[in-house]
A and B are shown apart, each in its own frame.
Chain A
Amino acid sequence: MDEVIRVQNLSFAYKQDYEVLKNISLVFDKKSTAIIGQNGAGKTTFVKLLKGLLKPTSGEIYIKGYNTKEVSTAFLSKYIGLVFQNPNDQIFKNTVLEEVMFGPLNILKDKKQAQENAIKALEMVGLQDKMHIHPYDLGLSDRKLVSIASIVSMDPDIIILDEPTIAQDHKGNTIIKNVIKELKEKGKLVITITHDMDFVAEIFERTIVLNEGIILLDGNTREVFSQQEILKKAYLELPHVAQLAKKLGIKQTLLTEQELINFLKHNKLNN
């Protein structure tokens, strides 16, 4: 197993006597991973710590072997990119192209190469025709895609997406799914925070459930979605297909439309 990130006894508090993350230990390899959990569970805080934007109150985080306490965020940004939950926290340039070029220009110091990377990333998210627009003239959904392209263009080994599907319609969702699949094929570790259980079921190999600062469940996505009682405690739900399968009395955890359709074609329901 190639270890990409190691988190050891991580605790974090914004204010005294209010721990948001409590003694978390885990390892990420290259499996695409979803992080799910209720509002305020600590998901955004956790990924800001991975990115080195916040430093542990206690415990250690190693990104490709580098302790986030011992290296600068600028150094880490070659290895790890984070797409913020709110794109407005990330966008500050005057055109979409400049915005997406900013990251690679900083790392590569080569304008031509940076522009090439930026254009490729913009094509990936379907914004090549909006390159010369001011990012604030775009709707929230496109702005979110710009912020994804800005990170993809830097080509880090680890890419974290904090609620990428906010405000996306069906087409936008499909674009994001394809970006994640493509990054995975290139050998990147993709970690995604989301509240969309169907999205988790369809895309991610591993799922981690965070609840009140601790890890409640961690495993292969199908196994995690077989633990309905624990998920309920974490204010989560089953994916829509799994809800229907369960209601129909099917014992297996079915996650996709096709799985359910196949099941119905070959089995009789016993109720």
Chain B
Amino acid sequence: MVNLVVEHLKYRYPLGNELALEDISFEVKKGEFIGIIGENGSGKSTLCQAIVGLVPNFYKGAYGGKVLVKEIEVAQSDVSEISSYVGIVFQNPFTQITGSKLTVYEEVAFGLENLGIPREEMIKRIEESLKLLRLFEYRHFNPFELSGGQMQRLAIASVIAMKPDILVLDEPTSQLDPQGSEEVFQAIQDLAKNGMTIIIAEHKIEKIASYADKIILLHKGKLVDFDTPEKIFSREDIEEYGIVPPVYTRICKSLNVKNEAGFYPVTLEQVYYELVKVYG
């Protein structure tokens, strides 16, 4: 079942000289895990904001084409109307924090109150998401007393607790410790398996390679490719788009080791399997 459709999307910021997004089209099915990659300024964050309707409703600017979330056209509806369907974790966690709540616990409660979630259910969700992000012991802290990574964990927890149908994450683990970042990827993979659609912009190429079903490759606001990680990272021209493939893929390229389908391996398990065949 398709639950996100982007059709010929074009967008220019009010003060921008060039299009930030140019004729973007793709479809995502329920429960798919989609990665967005591209160099700095390629349009990842703009695309994320367009999926949740902040582009154009908050940023204004020149907009063309369509984004349909569960058949609702986001540009035509107000942000609060679609916020029960889509949630976004912003690139900068400071933007996420309301600034008006005194504790970490209340911060997570805020979004749920707005959705009108019953009290019992609310308490359950707050505790679950705080534990998932290892923040439960900090629930009485003021959000501004958290470390950078803890604040990013809070941003993720607040959005996950809202259980949107489509979860958009913009570089959500940039300040997380290595195990924390792995845990977050595993957690959102579990959510995807239970039917949540995941769209995640990331520079951590090894993570995208092992978790994404498909990858959107952006360059200068255009969609260059939309395909599986092994096909994307086996493209001979990938570095022209400012993307360096995962370490494992690079090692296989240097040693000229490909899998049976003729692609370079992209994950630890795959590269291990291929290298043992050749060097074992």
**B contacts with A: majority SS:** helix
Q: Apart from A39-B150, A195-B177, what 11 extra A-B contacts exist at CB < 8 Å?
A: A44-B148, A85-B148, A169-B40, A170-B244, A195-B149, A195-B175, A198-B247, A240-B206, A244-B247, A268-B280, A269-B279
Q: Which of A40, A166, A197, A268 contacts B174 (CB 8 A)?
A: A166
For residue B100, CB closer than 8 A to chain A, the reply is no
Q: Which residues of A contact B203 (CB under 8 A)?
A: 167-170
- Known contacts A14-B145, A141-B40, A240-B247: A39-B180 contact under CB 8 Å: yes
Q: Which residues of B contact A29 (CB under 8 A)?
A: none
Q: Which residues of A contact B177 (CB under 8 A)?
A: 37-39, 41, 195, 235-236
Q: Which of B104-112, B228-236, B267-275 contacts A (4 or more CB under 8 A)?
A: B267-275
Q: Which residues of B contact A37 (CB under 8 A)?
A: 177
Interface residues of B in 145-198 (CB under 8 A from A): 145-150, 153, 171, 174-182
What residues of chain B have their CB less than 8 Å away from a CB belonging to chain A? 15, 38-41, 45, 91-92, 94, 138, 145-150, 153, 171, 174-182, 203, 206, 242-244, 246-248, 250-251, 254-255, 268, 271-272, 275-276, 279-280
Q: Which residues of B contact A232 (CB under 8 A)?
A: 179
Q: Which residues of B contact A240 (CB under 8 A)?
A: 206, 246-248, 268
Q: In the assembled complex, how far is the CB of residue B40 from the closest CB belonging to chain A, in whole angstroms?
A: 5
Interchain CB contact under 8 A, A235 and B150: no
Interchain CB contact under 8 A, A39 and B268: no
Q: Which residues of A contact B255 (CB under 8 A)?
A: 261, 264
Q: Which residues of B contact A237 (CB under 8 A)?
A: 178-179, 182
Interchain CB contact under 8 A, A38 and B254: no
Q: Which residues of A contact B174 (CB under 8 A)?
A: 166-167
A234 — nearest CB in chain B belongs to which residue? B177
Interchain CB contact under 8 A, A170 and B279: no
For residue A140, CB closer than 8 A to chain B, the reply is yes
Q: List 18 A-B contacts (CB under 8 A).
A: A40-B146, A85-B175, A141-B40, A170-B243, A172-B40, A195-B149, A195-B176, A236-B177, A240-B246, A241-B247, A244-B268, A244-B275, A248-B272, A248-B279, A261-B251, A264-B275, A269-B275, A271-B276
Q: In the assembled complex, how far is the CB of residue A261 from the closest CB belonging to chain B, in whole angstroms?
A: 5
Q: In the assembled complex, how far is the CB of residue A209 from the closest CB belonging to chain B, in whole angstroms?
A: 11
Interface residues of A in 215-244 (CB under 8 A from B): 232, 235-237, 240-241, 243-244
For residue A98, CB closer than 8 A to chain B, the reply is no
Q: In the assembled complex, how far is the CB of residue A255 from the closest CB belonging to chain B, in whole angstroms?
A: 11
- Known contacts A167-B174, A171-B242, A247-B272: A257-B247 contact under CB 8 Å: yes
B203 — nearest CB in chain A belongs to which residue? A169
A140 to B242 Cα, complex, angstroms: 17
Q: Which residues of B contact A14 (CB under 8 A)?
A: 145
A237 to B247 Cα, complex, angstroms: 15
Interchain CB contact under 8 A, A170 and B179: no
Interface centre among B45, B146, B147, B206 (most CB of A within 10 A): B147
Write out, one digit per residue, whether chain A residues 134-157 have a CB within 8 A of any chain B CB (1) or not (0): 000101111000000000000000
Interchain CB contact under 8 A, A40 and B247: no
- Known contacts A39-B153, A85-B175, A140-B91: A170-B268 contact under CB 8 Å: no
A153 to B277 Cα, complex, angstroms: 52
Q: Which residues of A contact B94 (CB under 8 A)?
A: 86, 88
Interface centre among A14, A40, A257 (most CB of B within 10 A): A40
For residue A76, CB closer than 8 A to chain B, the reply is no
Q: Which residues of A contact B176 (CB under 8 A)?
A: 39, 195
A39 — nearest CB in chain B belongs to which residue? B149
Q: Which residues of B contact A88 (CB under 8 A)?
A: 92, 94
- Known contacts A237-B179, A248-B272: A271-B247 contact under CB 8 Å: no
A249 to B261 Cα, complex, angstroms: 26
For residue A99, CB closer than 8 A to chain B, the reply is no
For residue A60, CB closer than 8 A to chain B, the reply is no
Q: Which of B181, B206, B248, B275 contacts A195 (CB 8 A)?
A: B181
Q: In the assembled complex, how far is the CB of residue A240 from the closest CB belonging to chain B, in whole angstroms?
A: 4
Q: Which residues of B contact A268 (CB under 8 A)?
A: 279-280
Interchain CB contact under 8 A, B251 and A257: yes
Q: Which residues of B contact A137 (CB under 8 A)?
A: 15
Q: Which of A40, A142, A244, A271 contacts B147 (CB 8 A)?
A: A40
